[in-house]
Amino acid sequence: MVDYHAANQAYQYGPSSGGGNGAGGGGSMGDYMAQEDDWDRDLLLDPAWEKQQRKTFTAWCNSHLRKAGTQIENIDEDFRDGLKLMLLLEVISGERLPKPERGKMRVHKINNVNKALDFIASKGVKLVSIGAEEIVDGNAKMTLGMIWTIILRFAIQDISVEETSAKEGLLLWCQRKTAPYKNVNVQNFHISWKDGLAFNALIHRHRPELIEYDKLRKDDPVTNLNNAFEVAEKYLDIPKMLDAEDIVNTARPDEKAIMTYVSSFYHAFSGAQKAETAANRICKVLAVNQENEHLMEDYERLASDLLEWIRRTIPWLEDRVPQKTIQEMQQKLEDFRDYRRVHKPPKVQEKCQLEINFNTLQTKLRLSNRPAFMPSEGRMVSDINNGWQHLEQAEKGYEEWLLNEIRRLERLDHLAEKFRQKASIHEAWTDGKEAMLKQRDYETATLSDIKALIRKHEAFESDLAAHQDRVEQIAAIAQELNELDYYDSHNVNTRCQKICDQWDNLGSLTHSRREALEKTEKQLETIDQLHLEYAKRAAPFNNWMESAMEDLQDMFIVHTIEEIEGLISAHDQFKSTLPDADREREAILAIHKEAQRIAESNHIKLSGSNPYTTVTPQIINSKWEKVQQLVPKRDHALLEEQSKQQSNEHLRRQFASQANMVGPWIQTKMEEIGRISIEMNGTLEDQLSHLKQYERSIVDYKPSLDLLEQQHQLIQEALIFDNKHTNYTMEHIRVGWEQLLTTIARTINEVENQILTRDAKGISQEQMQEFRASFNHFDKDHGGALGPEEFKACLISLGYDVENDRQGDAEFNRIMSVVDPNHSGLVTFQAFIDFMSRETTDTDTADQVIASFKVLAGDKNFITAEELRRELPPDQAEYCIARMAPYQGPDAAPGALDYKSFSTALYGESDL
């Protein structure tokens, strides 16, 4: 006797889990059957299940035997001689078995059954505990087990839905087909089918005209089951394998009987399944195309917006109309800073994101075998880069112009104030001089008075000559203001011209008076030597004091600490001369006192003031006191400027300290990104995670850049134009920062595209790492691209036969035309990965899509809108209808659409 309670690994009357892998996948059958062990042991205890199996298996066998013109009545009796068993196998397999033996003896029957069992085994099914003797002896359980093995192998094993097989595939198919139906929930092959709604749902899903599903009631299972079985037998050629009562009156229907019955429905609707598979393929292809079109539209819109912003911004940056005042120009500078801080950074991000979106779109197009995206005219990435370059050139020129214009206006304000100060001093000095020179006092004067007038006039001429430099300075300042286009040049020129005209007039009057005095000089001989000496020494001393007062009140402008320290040093040197000047003053006053002493001692009555000069001791003392007052004021002004320059120097050093830290940091990060992109280890997801962490560390450094911007703004507000403590300018730092953000974003995008390529093409992580390692090994300069010889060496290392012979050279030239279509002489890593992915993986092709449409069209060379709407989701059906051209073939029908041209167009190919 056979031990039906053998080890769990063996199926009682079917193939074991260790069965061979035949053409139909015996391994999958074995796995399934291993799951059935527990159920089969229960079978021995339940006669109802055996009854259901007898009925179902008998009907199934007869559905095939009737094709050979025969049938069976009793499943365990009619197969005993092996003849109908061999005939059944020939019908369901379509193959010829060895010629049966016609003898009636037991040995003949055993030989025939063995021929049948050998045929089953040849199909990859390992029979365990089933022998010919048991079948010949009419062992019911062994016979049912053998028939179940045949059903599994020839009716169920090849069923596959989403890479599942056998029982799981059949169950998933049932679940999907019945999902839309109320009161149907297929979870197994026993109680899920008791109410009959699942059978009716399968029929209605594929042939809705045969079943009025809405009229069925869940509480009437017998009616439901009979309806489904009768419709299936009448219209679908599926024999009635069970009675409704067999199912309803059993607590748990036999799973094998239900599976056998349901598999007949599956095979009856296999044509519809084939159409569904074709429709799924088409939907997948169309979804890719629709997504790509959306990405293209997004690119066009973003590119247009960015180019429009550049177009609007450049004229503003190229506007070089100067303003009249520093305040107006500083407002322009503040507007420019606001543009740099607020308006430009988002556009930098938009530009970077646009490039990333463009690269991602091109990658998706390559992966789906679509033609590359060509933006509309004027919206290429190169057009955006050219516009951006023009923008940055205009930006740089605008900033330089602003700073130069502010320097010019500052210089103008300084010169204008200096002009007004010197003009005021000169005008104060010339006040009354014309009236003095026009006097005719020499006509009634005594000889001594005339001589005094001559000396007085000589002193005036000396004084006049001393003021010549000031007039020339005034004229020079006015000329410089004109050359620098000072806005109030008209008033400056008018005042300067008045001073020059007056100066010329003074010269003319001086000359006329000298001639008049010289005519009477011979009559004037008496001269007071002491007064004369006084006048000679007082005049230059008076001029020195006036020059000193002018110098002490002179405005100054400096830009560095060294310049102010130079002025302070010069001022200290001037102060060191004051003791000598004081002694000279006392000596001049002593001369005056000596003249008075002599006159008094000799009873001489002096006639008022010194006739040779207007510089009295009171004037000398007054001016000396003025000089003494101006010295500390000058000290204070210089110290204030020194403090300001020290503050400016602090700002320079503060900016330099931060810039000398930020600049090298940016350079270091750029170099590190270069190394990361070359030395990437781990999975692509690990690399992507590492890069994004690296990106976050870069973004976290932004406060250091903001601090530098704040320090730079303080420097500009202080009108500091140079900094010897650093070679970095804010412009260099900004450009470096933008390049750093763009580089890390592009590196991340490259890895994302590699992941996209890997996932779409099914490349394993090991393959991707091998491709990366090979590429990096031959990328000697770490430039991210291989030259032709480096690329050839890389291909050879991967097993390609591209050695230097005619055949190898031809193959290499073919590959180069794929990876370097523009003949640049360089192969990028992305192009290398695309090539390797095409070499190692399968992709959807235009021919596959055409074949799928042909299935939906029922093998016609055209398809109709009605067929598309029936087989595809609404949005994808309308997508096809809107783009398919009318079919022009000789077999065209009304409303025929050309699906072949449409399919080839999806992949950028010409019509077949």
Buried-state track 734-744, b at ≥16 Cβ within 10 A, e below 16: bebbbebbbbb
pLDDT of residue 355: 87
CATH number listed for the domain at residues 661-837? 1.20.58.60
Averaged pLDDT for residues 1-30: 32
Q: How many beta carbons lie within 10 A of that of residue 589, not counting itself?
A: 16
| Higher local confidence (pLDDT), 540 or 287 | 540
Predicted confidence band at 141 (pLDDT cuts at 50, 70, 90)?
confident
- Which residue is listed with tokens 């009562």? 245
DSSP at 343: I
pLDDT tens for 144-177 read 888 888 887 777 776 666 656 678 888 888 998 8
Quote the CA–CA distance of 623 and 616 in Å, as a whole number.
11
pLDDT of residue 602: 54
pLDDT of residue 677: 64
- Map residue 236 onto helix, strand or coil: coil
pLDDT tens for 184-217 read 999 999 999 999 999 999 999 888 999 999 999 9
pLDDT of residue 158: 66
Among the residue ranges 232-241, 583-592, 602-611, the one predicted with the least confidence is: 602-611
Quote the CA–CA distance of 168 and 181 in Å, as a whole number.
21
| Percent residues over pLDDT 90 in the chain | 13
Q: Is 813 exposed, middle or buried (0-12, 13-18, 19+ CB in 10 A)?
A: exposed
Q: How many beta carbons lie within 10 A of that of residue 574, not counting itself?
A: 16
Flag whether pLDDT at 268 surpasses 70: yes
Q: Say how many residues make up the chain.
A: 912
Identify which of 281-285, 364-368, 496-500 has the greatest average pLDDT.
496-500
pLDDT tens for 311-330 read 999 998 888 887 777 788 78
Flag whether pLDDT at 898 surpasses 60: yes
Among the residue ranges 141-145, 154-158, 230-234, 627-631, the one predicted with the least confidence is: 154-158
pLDDT of residue 909: 58
| Percent residues over pLDDT 70 in the chain | 88
Predicted confidence band at 44 (pLDDT cuts at 50, 70, 90)?
very low
DSSP at 156: I
Predicted confidence band at 632 (pLDDT cuts at 50, 70, 90)?
very high
Share the mean pLDDT of the chain.
81
- Which residue is listed with tokens 């009959």? 196
Of the options 3.40.50.300, 1.10.10.60, 1.10.357.10, 1.20.58.60, the CATH number for the domain spanning 283-411: 1.20.58.60
Q: Which two tokens stand for residue 509?
A: 């009057």
Among the residue ranges 153-167, 348-362, 521-535, 659-673, the one predicted with the least confidence is: 521-535
Residues 6+ apart with CB under 8 A from 801: 807, 808, 811
Buried-state track 758-791, b at ≥16 Cβ within 10 A, e below 16: bebbebeeebbeebbebbbebbeeeebbbbeebb
| Higher local confidence (pLDDT), 910 or 693 | 693
Q: What's the distance, CA 376 to chain centroid?
A: 21
Among the residue ranges 368-382, 436-450, 512-526, 893-907, the one predicted with the least confidence is: 512-526
Any long-range contacts for 499-506 (C-beta under 8 Å, 24+ apart)? 499/423, 499/426, 499/427, 499/430, 499/471, 499/474, 500/471, 500/475, 502/430, 502/434, 503/430, 503/471, 505/434, 506/430, 506/433, 506/434, 506/437, 506/464
- Report the chain's terminal Cα–Cα distance, integer Å: 67
846-907 and 432-615 share a CATH fold = no
Quote the CA–CA distance of 385 and 307 in Å, as a whole number.
10
pLDDT tens for 369-413 read 888 889 988 888 889 999 999 988 988 988 888 888 788 777 777
Residue ranges covered by each domain of the chain: 283-411, 432-615, 661-837, 846-907
pLDDT tens for 479-493 read 888 887 777 788 889
CATH number listed for the domain at residues 846-907? 1.10.238.10
Query: CA geometry: angle at 213 spanning 208 and 217, to 5°?
Result: 165
DSSP assignments along 600-653, one per residue: HHTT----SS-TT-S--HHHHHHHHHHHHHHHHHHHHHHHHHHHHHHHHHHHHH
Averaged pLDDT for residues 284-297: 86
Quote the CA–CA distance of 477 and 210 in Å, as a whole number.
109
Predicted confidence band at 289 (pLDDT cuts at 50, 70, 90)?
confident
Residues 6+ apart with CB under 8 A from 660: 725, 726, 728
Identify which of 11-25, 606-620, 677-691 has the greatest average pLDDT.
606-620
Predicted confidence band at 462 (pLDDT cuts at 50, 70, 90)?
confident
Q: Are 748 and 688 in contact (CB under 8 A)?
A: yes
Among the residue ranges 32-46, 674-688, 758-772, the one predicted with the least confidence is: 32-46
| Higher local confidence (pLDDT), 605 or 135 | 135
Q: Tell me the CATH class for 432-615.
A: mainly alpha
Task: Tell me which residue of 752, 756, 754, 783 sits closest to 771, measured CA to CA.
Answer: 754
How many Cα atoms are found within 13 Å in the side-chain-facing hemisphere of 160?
A: 8
- Map residue 828 onto helix, strand or coil: strand
pLDDT of residue 605: 60
pLDDT of residue 220: 93
DSSP assignments along 704-748, one per residue: HHHHHHHHHHHHHHTT----TT-S--HHHHHHHHHHHHHHHHHHH
